[in-house]
Structure 1
């Protein structure tokens, strides 16, 4: 029994040390009071990414659609809410769109081509978009559910044959959900996968800030929490911090957003200032982000290093 417990306690000590070395530097909570603002942004993004844009080809049953172009998209009622342990649910009611396309129908013997216009009125759509943390601490989006329905879908032109009503609705679902996945979710993930997770907060001092995610996104019916590393450093790679910090705990949802800053951030900031050798050199802080960060550090800690830099900047 003793021979088993010793290795187990040793591993437990190692993993406990690892979790203490990498606490979050700051944490952000977005509450349901901010959902109307996020809804408006999502609605504007859909309009911007869809209307007037030409999309790549899509194959549906035996029909090959190309040069897809939405000429009109109108959304009359849009609702956004949190989905617990996942992300967001976007509900669009009473919307209509008009889309032009070229098509080729594969009848095996013949393949007639032409152009057509698809128009729908009084449609509704429900989409669930989730947020996850990747292995390297980035944010990633996914859509697990997409439903579209309409009472009226018209096809005008010679490019598409008259299909049964059930097939028309399937075509609508396929078009809307496929295009949102390709143009919306895929485009967002492409940006997130290349966006740097390290910012030059004090480029004059060579100080960087690692703001990668430290844990999975936490979502309830009332709020969404994101924890960031928030470690400042001057080396090529962030050093291990000896002293950790306690993750902020938000107990309210009364305002649109909350920001919690931990001791870990301030410790790493003070250490990076020391490593930059600010006491032996004269610096001028030009970065707006750097000036704002110095004021925050000075306000919360009365840190002598921050005071020195701010005073030195005023004298420059």
Structure 2
């Protein structure tokens, strides 16, 4: 007899949250995914290009220079010279041999005998070669249950700096004044630029990513808000998500859903891991229970089982099943264990009274690419009926076709 197959397809992408929220899904990212994180970090670093720092003064004895519209116009980095490390509560990017170009406007004034003499006001270009930067970002859960970042450490240094000031005094400024002042003041503006532009850009992108996803063409939604704090070790980063399936627009009593244990990882060999807890499956079971009765065609079974079914009130015809309570799903070493209590009724013109029954289903779990497939291997049902044949056991799956449940996570 053909086994019943329920296919759960999911794609991992990132309501308000309380401290007691269970974890339905947990994602582990290991240091083997360094290249992916590196590309992501360098992409956000490129957000600094064309960013402008507010004007600031530079004073040396009686000379006062005001830097106006300091804009980073070029940034070039070799990914091979970038290292990503997990530490504290986030990630640290160590970047060496950056090439950076700034453009600015400046006013140079000479304060002499309580008078201000305007000496020059033009544009300049600053070239930074072999710039080194260490930037640490902390990952945290915000009040809306989403993911956000904060810069907790930033250090920069430079090996070589050159300037090109315009105007009559340009060559003099380049030779005697600009380089030491530029190295001291302009390079120190890189970290404020990261804080002012790159960090808000990252948080804006994270805020735009919805924490509740609706499955296409259905009223099913999945809650992706964070269920706890991100935990970080030297070689892995774990992010817990609520991972709750529910019907859009209907309140959910989380306490009524069996939680079970949170996913626990013990390996770091792969780039990423996805852990699914009993809470995820039981939230789907609760959604199924609240969806009301469902119908299916009469199963293909052997003739003597068909005769027993007819005797207890389920003749060959479409059957309606009503769950009397939410199914209970447990995760075991051998797979999933499901307990179902339901009422079955034939949809003939003059159907008999509903037939109550209990079923226990054991399922194997198989994963292929992005598909999580649940395959029934043993179904045992007991029908509560006063007839002599009211109690029986079906030890094989009683359907002849596959059923698919498509959930986009």
TM surpasses 0.5:
yes
1:168-222 Cα offsets, whole Å, 9 max, x none, are 3332333311222222111111222343210002x43301110100111101111
Unaligned runs of 5+ in 1: 1-17, 282-291
Q: C-alpha separation between the residues in 2 aligned to 1:143 and 1:311? A: 44
Q: Which residue of 1 aligns with 2:263?
A: 248
Following superposition, the deviation at residue 142 of structure 1 comes to 0.8
Q: Give runs of aligned pairs for residues 260-275 of structure 1, distance below 5 A.
A: 260-275=275-290
Following superposition, the deviation at residue 107 of structure 1 comes to 6.2
In structure 2, relative to structure 1, the CA distance for the partners of 1:176 and 1:213 (3 Å cut) is same
Q: Give runs of aligned pairs for residues 1-316 of structure 1, distance below 5 A.
A: 22-47=21-46, 49-50=47-48, 53-62=49-58, 63-66=66-69, 68-75=71-78, 77-83=81-87, 85-105=88-108, 109=116, 112-158=120-166, 163=177, 167-201=181-215, 203-236=216-249, 238-241=251-254, 242=256, 243-277=258-292, 279=294, 296=372, 298-299=374-375, 310=403
In structure 2, relative to structure 1, the CA distance for the partners of 1:300 and 1:266 (3 Å cut) is farther
Following superposition, the deviation at residue 154 of structure 1 comes to 1.5
Q: C-alpha separation between the residues in 2 aligned to 1:132 and 1:101? A: 36
Determine if contact 1:122/1:150 at 8 Å carries over to the other structure. yes
In structure 2, relative to structure 1, the CA distance for the partners of 1:302 and 1:110 (3 Å cut) is farther
Q: C-alpha separation between the residues in 2 aligned to 1:295 and 1:253? A: 22
Residue 372 of structure 2: SS of its match in structure 1?
A: helix
Determine if contact 1:148/1:172 at 8 Å carries over to the other structure. no
Following superposition, the deviation at residue 269 of structure 1 comes to 1.2
Residue 374 of structure 2: SS of its match in structure 1?
A: helix
Determine if contact 1:129/1:141 at 8 Å carries over to the other structure. yes
1:289-313 Cα offsets, whole Å, 9 max, x none, are xxx9x96363599999xx9993699
Q: C-alpha separation between the residues in 2 aligned to 1:118 and 1:163? A: 13
Determine if contact 1:125/1:149 at 8 Å carries over to the other structure. yes
In structure 2, relative to structure 1, the CA distance for the partners of 1:298 and 1:205 (3 Å cut) is farther
Determine if contact 1:28/1:258 at 8 Å carries over to the other structure. yes
Q: C-alpha separation between the residues in 2 aligned to 1:267 and 1:142? A: 35
Q: Which residue of 2 aligns with 1:12?
A: none
In structure 2, relative to structure 1, the CA distance for the partners of 1:301 and 1:199 (3 Å cut) is farther
Residue 150 of structure 1: SS of its match in structure 2?
A: strand
Q: C-alpha separation between the residues in 1 aligned to 2:55 and 2:24? A: 47
Unaligned runs of 5+ in 2: 1-17, 59-65, 297-367, 380-396
Cα RMSD of the aligned pairs, angstroms, is: 3.4
Residue 77 of structure 2: SS of its match in structure 1?
A: strand
Q: C-alpha separation between the residues in 2 aligned to 1:278 and 1:101? A: 70
Q: Which residue of 2 aligns with 1:15?
A: none
Determine if contact 1:28/1:225 at 8 Å carries over to the other structure. yes
| TM-score after normalising by structure 2 | 0.59
1:142-189 Cα offsets, whole Å, 9 max, x none, are 111111111221121138966476643332333311222222111111
In structure 2, relative to structure 1, the CA distance for the partners of 1:300 and 1:184 (3 Å cut) is farther
Runs of 4+ displaced beyond 6 Å = 300-304
Q: C-alpha separation between the residues in 2 aligned to 1:102 and 1:301? A: 74
1:268-299 Cα offsets, whole Å, 9 max, x none, are 11222333347169xxxxxxxxxx9x963635
**In proportion to residue count, which structure has more helix?**
1
Determine if contact 1:54/1:67 at 8 Å carries over to the other structure. no
Q: C-alpha separation between the residues in 2 aligned to 1:236 and 1:185? A: 34
**In proportion to residue count, which structure has more strand?**
2
Determine if contact 2:75/2:101 at 8 Å carries over to the other structure. yes
In structure 2, relative to structure 1, the CA distance for the partners of 1:91 and 1:238 (3 Å cut) is farther
Determine if contact 2:163/2:179 at 8 Å carries over to the other structure. no
Q: C-alpha separation between the residues in 1 aligned to 2:84 and 2:278? A: 35
Following superposition, the deviation at residue 72 of structure 1 comes to 4.6
